[in-house]
C-alpha cells in the first residue's frame, strides 16, 4: 500500500473512521443472470486488486501489502436479495444502509456486490461496496467500467472471456512469517534508497535554485513548509454548534438535478460545476442550522483534490489529496457565495504540499497505531461535512441487458457529520447524502434544506 492508503486502513482502529464507499444503481429491469455473472467474473479476473486481501507487516516497519487471497470465494462477494416493502427507492436504500454500516472482513478482498430484486415497476437495484483503501471515486468508476455496456445487446466475448478458468489459480506457496519479515525489510531498504535519491535530487535542485535566485528558493521552501502545516493543522472540534456527535449509524438519502442547470449556475460567475454544487450544499447547511435556531457563518469542509494527472492518471489505489478548510454558509446572495467558495477552493487546490501527501502520511504512519489514529482521527472528526464531485458517463449505459436509470454515490463519513457526493450521469447529477445518525437525527430535514440550497443556486444561474 502507499503510505496514504495505509493510513486510511490503520486509523480504522476507531470504527467511526471507516472509509467505505457505496454505490447504488437503479435498473429498469433485472439484469440477465448469466451475463451478469460472466461480467462480474471477467471484472474480477481483469482487476487483481479484487482478488487480493490486506496483509500486515509482522515487523511493523512497512505498510500493509496487497496479497493474492488463496481462499478467494466469488460467491461470498456476490449476493442477491429481495427488496423489502413495496420496493420503492427508499426501500432500496434501506437495504444499502446496513451494508454501508457493516465492517469488511479484513481477511478477504474488500468489495461486495448485492443485486436487489423486486423493486416497483419491475425494476431492480444493485449495491456496490468497496473499501476506500482499494481506490478513490474516479478509480471506482474505472473499476466498474467492465460491468457497464453501451447498449442492451450482448457484447461480443473478448479473448479473456473464452476458454479461461473462472479465476487464475494461485500457484505460489503462501508466504511464511520469515518471508513476510524479509519482504518488509527489503521494502524499507528500497524505500530508503529511493528517498535518498529524491533527497539528493531535491538538494541539487535547491542548490541550483539558490544559485539562480536565493530569495526565491528560500521562499519556495517556506511555502511548502507552511502548506504542510496548514494541511495537518490540528482542530479539536467541529465548527458546527449543532452537528457534534459521532456514531456508527449511517443514513442514506438522495436527490438529483440537471447537470446543464448546475453548469450554467457555475458559469454565471465564471466558475465551475463544483463551485455551484458546493455553494448549494453550503446554503443548505445554513438553512438546516437556522431551522434549529443555531446561526452559523462558516463550517469546516473537507474535499478531495484529484491528483490523477500525468503519470498518476492510470495508477491503482487512491490518487487524491484531502483538504480541510472553512467555507462560508451564511452569504445570502447565492452568486456571491459561489464567488467566495470559488476563491477558497482555488486557493486550497494550489497548496504546494499536496503532491507530497504520501510523505506526510508516511510520517503519521511512523507513529504507534493508536497515536496515529488519535492524531489523524481527531482532525477528521473536526470536519462538519465532506463534498466530492465524481464525473460519470455522459450517456446512458446498460448492465447485462438492463438500462441503468440512476447511479447514486455514497461517500464515507470518515469521522464527519455528513458526506455529500455528486455523480454526473446522462445529463443529470445524482447526489448521495450520507449522514451520521447521531450528528444529524433528522436527515430528511437536512436533505430538504440541501435541495432548497441547490435550487437557490440553480435559480441564480437561470436568471443570469
Catalytic residues, which ones?
132
From the list 409, 99, 124, the residue with the least C-alpha distance to 254 is: 409
375 in Cβ contact with 364 (< 8 Å): yes
**Interacting residues of 29 by C-beta distance below 8 A, sequence separation 6+:** 122, 123, 124, 401, 402, 403
DSSP state of 11: G
Neighbours of 178 (CB within 10 A): 9
Q: In this structure, what DSSP letter does residue 110 have? A: S
H/E stretch holding 323 reads strand 320-328
How far CA 426 is from CA of 40, 121, 403, in Å, comes to: 23, 21, 12
Residue with cell 457526493: 421
Residue 150 DSSP label? S
Q: How many residues does the chain have?
A: 464
CB atoms within 10 A of CB 216: 11
- Write the CA distances from 56 to 67, 199, 210, 316, 439, integer angstroms: 10, 28, 43, 19, 33
DSSP 417-442: SEEEEEEEETTEEEEEEEEETTT-S-
Where helices occur in 30-105 by DSSP H, the ranges are 33-46, 74-77, 89-101
Amino acid at each position: 500500500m502507499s503510505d496514504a492508503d495505509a493510513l486510511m486502513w490503520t486509523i480504522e482502529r476507531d470504527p467511526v473512521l471507516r472509509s467505505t464507499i457505496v454505490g447504488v444503481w437503479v435498473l429498469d429491469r433485472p439484469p440477465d443472470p448469466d451475463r451478469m455473472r460472466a461480467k462480474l467474473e471477467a471484472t474480477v479476473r481483469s482487476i487483481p486488486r479484487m482478488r487480493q486481501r490486506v496483509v500486515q507487516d509482522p515487523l511493523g516497519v512497512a505498510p500493509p501489502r496487497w496479497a493474492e487471497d488463496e481462499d478467494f470465494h466469488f460467491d461470498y462477494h456476490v449476493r442477491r436479495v429481495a427488496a423489502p416493502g413495496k420496493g420503492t427507492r427508499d426501500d432500496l436504500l434501506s437495504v444499502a444502509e446496513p451494508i454501508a454500516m457493516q465492517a469488511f472482513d479484513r481477511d478477504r478482498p474488500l468489495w461486495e456486490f448485492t443485486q436487489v430484486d423486486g423493486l416497483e415497476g419491475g425494476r431492480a437495484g444493485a449495491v456496490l461496496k468497496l473499501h476506500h483503501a482499494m481506490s478513490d471515486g474516479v478509480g471506482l468508476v474505472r473499476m466498474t467500467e467492465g460491468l457497464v455496456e453501451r447498449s442492451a445487446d450482448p457484447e461480443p466475448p473478448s479473448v479473456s472471456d473464452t476458454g479461461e478458468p473462472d479465476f487464475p489459480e494461485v500457484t505460489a506457496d503462501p508466504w511464511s512469517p520469515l518471508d513476510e519479515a524479509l519482504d518488509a525489510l527489503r521494502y524499507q531498504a528500497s524505500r530508503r534508497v529511493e528517498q535518498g535519491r529524491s533527497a539528493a535530487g531535491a538538494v541539487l535542485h535547491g542548490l541550483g535554485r539558490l544559485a539562480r535566485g536565493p530569495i526565491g528558493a528560500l521562499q519556495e521552501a517556506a511555502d511548502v513548509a507552511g502548506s504542510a502545516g496548514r494541511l495537518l493543522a490540528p482542530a479539536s472540534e467541529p465548527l458546527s454548534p449543532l452537528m457534534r456527535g459521532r456514531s456508527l449509524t449511517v443514513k442514506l438519502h438522495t436527490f438529483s438535478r440537471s447537470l446543464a442547470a448546475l453548469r450554467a449556475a457555475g458559469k454565471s460567475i465564471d466558475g465551475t460545476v463544483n463551485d455551484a454544487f458546493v455553494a448549494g450544499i453550503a446554503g443548505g447547511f445554513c438553512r438546516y442550522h437556522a431551522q434549529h435556531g443555531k446561526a452559523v457563518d462558516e463550517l469546516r469542509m473537507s474535499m478531495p483534490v484529484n491528483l490523477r494527472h500525468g503519470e498518476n492518471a492510470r495508477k491503482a489505489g487512491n490518487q487524491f489529496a484531502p483538504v480541510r478548510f472553512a467555507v462560508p454558509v451564511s452569504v445570502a446572495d447565492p452568486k456571491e457565495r459561489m464567488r467566495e467558495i470559488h476563491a477558497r477552493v482555488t486557493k486550497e487546490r494550489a497548496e504546494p504540499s499536496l503532491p507530497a501527501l504520501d510523505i506526510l502520511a508516511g510520517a503519521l504512519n511512523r507513529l504507534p497505531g493508536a497515536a496515529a489514529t488519535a492524531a489523524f482521527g481527531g482532525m477528521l472528526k473536526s470536519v462538519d461535512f465532506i463534498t466530492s464531485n465524481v464525473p460519470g458517463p455522459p450517456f446512458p449505459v446498460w448492465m447485462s441487458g438492463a438500462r441503468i436509470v440512476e447511479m447514486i454515490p455514497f461517500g464515507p463519513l470518515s469521522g464527519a457529520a455528513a458526506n455529500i457526493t455528486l455523480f454526473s450521469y446522462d445529463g443529470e447529477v445524482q447526489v448521495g447524502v450520507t449522514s451520521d445518525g447521531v450528528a444529524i437525527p433528522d436527515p430528511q430535514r437536512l436533505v430538504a434544506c440541501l435541495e432548497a440550497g441547490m435550487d437557490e443556486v440553480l435559480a441564480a444561474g437561470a436568471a443570469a
